């Protein structure tokens, strides 16, 4: 069995430092790895990245993250990623990493993702150059996720994104903003590989549970949704993808 702790949208700044740490210190007893689904910072500054690294770095379990839209706000995303990497945190953007846990190989493929919407109400790659660029970005990002998922041979495979791959985990958000919260192309990429679990954030008022058209379990782990420091999910057990007890 592999236990994965996950959270997103923690929006760390100086005033947040210390809020998550007591629960994070308990991770070795509750989970084998921690995945953070973007919006690590409030405005994407290097100073905030250092605050996140202080709060979420130096743990006794591996920490793997993707960036979110907030982490791009100050156009310092490359430096933000450098600060996190220097703190021993793995940052994914179109790549995969493999963790050796309890004799099993856990693969994690990650991208930030992008918007575009879902079947029946999605943007199309047609018309103005601006619209083509918007949808083209989504398609490129989804292709990178699919390639990353297919690049590893593992016992269990997790897709980590910030934007949502399915509309079910957006329920609670205004329908008008669904195209800015996720895209069906991400779900299609997840279904292109033997993915065990998909984790995302971004939708603060969304719902926790969904599934891709191909049947992959999707969980919205945005902090405002799960309302605790992290949820724990288990893989490679008789209760595949079942939630374990969370912590506040």
Overall domain count for the chain? 1
Task: Note down the domain range covering 43.
Answer: 2-235
Q: How confident is the model at residue 122 (pLDDT cuts 50, 70, 90)?
A: confident
Look at residue 218 and tell me if it is in a domain: yes
Interior CA angle at 138 toward 86 and 5, to 5°?
45
pLDDT digits (tens, 9 = 90+) for 66-107: 999 999 999 999 999 999 999 999 999 999 999 999 999 999
Look at residue 242 and tell me if it is in a domain: no
pLDDT at 124: 83
What lies within 8 Å, CB to CB, of 212 at 6+ separation is 165, 166, 187, 190, 191, 195, 198, 218
Look at residue 245 and tell me if it is in a domain: no
What is the CATH classification number for the domain harbouring 27?
3.60.21.10
Given a cut of 50, whether residue 242 has pLDDT beyond it is no
pLDDT digits (tens, 9 = 90+) for 162-182: 999 999 999 999 999 999 999
Distance of CA 36 to the CA centre of its chain: 6
Look at residue 16 and tell me if it is in a domain: yes
């Amino acid at each position: 069995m592999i236990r994965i702790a996950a959270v997103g949208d923690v929006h760390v700044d100086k005033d947040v430092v210390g809020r998550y740490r007591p629960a994070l210190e308990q991770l070795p007893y509750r989970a084998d790895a921690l995945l953070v689904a973007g919006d690590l910072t409030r405005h994407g500054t290097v100073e905030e990245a250092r605050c996140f690294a202080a709060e979420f770095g130096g743990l006794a379990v591996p920490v793997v993250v993707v960036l979110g839209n907030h982490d791009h706000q100050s156009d310092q995303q490359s430096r933000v990623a450098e600060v996190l990497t220097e703190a021993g945190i793995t940052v994914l953007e179109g790549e995969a990493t493999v963790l050796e846990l309890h004799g099993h190989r856990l693969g994690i493929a990650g991208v930030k993702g992008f918007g575009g919407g879902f079947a029946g109400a999605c943007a199309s790659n047609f018309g103005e150059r601006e619209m083509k660029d918007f949808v083209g970005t989504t398609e490129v990002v989804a292709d990178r996720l699919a390639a990353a998922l297919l690049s590893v041979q593992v016992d269990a495979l997790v897709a980590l994104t910030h934007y949502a791959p399915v509309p079910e985990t957006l329920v609670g958000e205004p329908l008008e903003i669904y195209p800015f919260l996720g895209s069906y192309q991400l779900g299609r990429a997840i279904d292109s590989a033997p993915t065990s679990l998909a984790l995302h954030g971004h939708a603060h008022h969304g719902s926790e549970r969904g599934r891709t058209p191909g049947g992959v379990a999707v969980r919205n782990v945005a902090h405002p949704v799960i309302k605790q420091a992290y949820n724990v999910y288990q893989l490679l057990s008789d209760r595949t993808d079942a939630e374990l007890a969370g912590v506040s």
